[in-house]
Amino acid sequence: MATGQHGCIFCGNKPLTKEHIWGQWITEYVSRTTNKYAFGHVVAHKKPEDNIERSSLRAGDPIGANVRVVCGRCNNEWMSQLQEKAKPHLIPLFKGETVWLNKSAQAAIADWIIMATMTAEYIQRDPSMIAISQTDRNKFFERKPLANWKVWIAPFQRKHWIGQWVHTSVPIYPSEDVPPLTAMVDPGQTRKTPPLSSVNCTLTL
C-alpha cells in the first residue's frame, strides 16, 4: 500500500499502527450483517468523459474496516480521546433511542465522524485519489475549526440495501471561474479543470 511508505497522515511520525476506522467497540451496538460490501469510487470532472467511476466488491463488513495510516501516539492519545468523548452520545443513537444532542454533543459526534472520514479515505489504495487536503488534516490535528466541513447524520434502516462505501470527489471552482449554466453542460468548453477540492464520503451502516 503506497500510503504505508509515508508517516502518519496527521503528524508525520512513524511507525504506523493498524487502526479500526469505526472502533472495535462499535460492533457491540451495530452488528456486522454482511461478509462483503460494495466499494464505489467516483471522481466527477467538469467534462463527463473524464469522470472516473470504479466499483468493486470487498470482503468483510465495512464496520470492521481498518487502515494503517496513523501512528500509535495519535491513535492512542487524541484520536482515542475524541472517540471516548463521542461514545456516550453515539451509543443511544445506535440503540435507536431518542436523544437531545446539545452543542457539545453535536461537536463530539462531528469530530468522531470527521476523524473516521479522514482515515477511511485511505481504504482505497490509490494515493492520487485522496481528496481531503493535508491542510485540513493538520487543522484537525491541531484542533482548529474546519470552516468548510459539514456533517449530517440521519437514522437509516438498511432493509434490503447492502452495505456500501462511496467516495465521491467533485471539483470546486473559484467564483470567477464558474461557467455560465449553459457552459456547464457543454462538453466542448475548454476551462482548465482545477484540482480536486471536495470530498463526499457516505457510509451506510
Q: Which residues bind Zn ion (CB under 5 A)?
A: 8, 10-11, 13, 71, 74
Question: Minimum CB separation from Zn ion for residue 130, in Å?
Answer: 16
Q: Between 31 and 76, whose beta carbon lies closer to Zn ion?
A: 76
Question: Minimum CB separation from Zn ion for residue 72, in Å?
Answer: 8
Q: Between 71 and 203, whose beta carbon lies closer to Zn ion?
A: 71
Q: Is residue 91 within 8 Å of residue 33, measured between CB atoms?
A: no
**C-alpha grid cell, residue 2:** 503506497
| Nearby residues of 63 by Cβ (< 8 Å), 6 or more positions away | 22, 26, 27, 30, 32, 163, 205
Q: Between 98 and 135, whose beta carbon lies closer to Zn ion?
A: 135
- Estimate to the nearest angstrom the gap between the alpha carbon of 190 and the chain centroid: 31
Question: Minimum CB separation from Zn ion for residue 7, in Å?
Answer: 7
Question: Minimum CB separation from Zn ion for residue 195, in Å?
Answer: 25
Q: Between 122 and 165, whose beta carbon lies closer to Zn ion?
A: 122
Q: Is residue 170 within 8 Å of residue 184, measured between CB atoms?
A: no
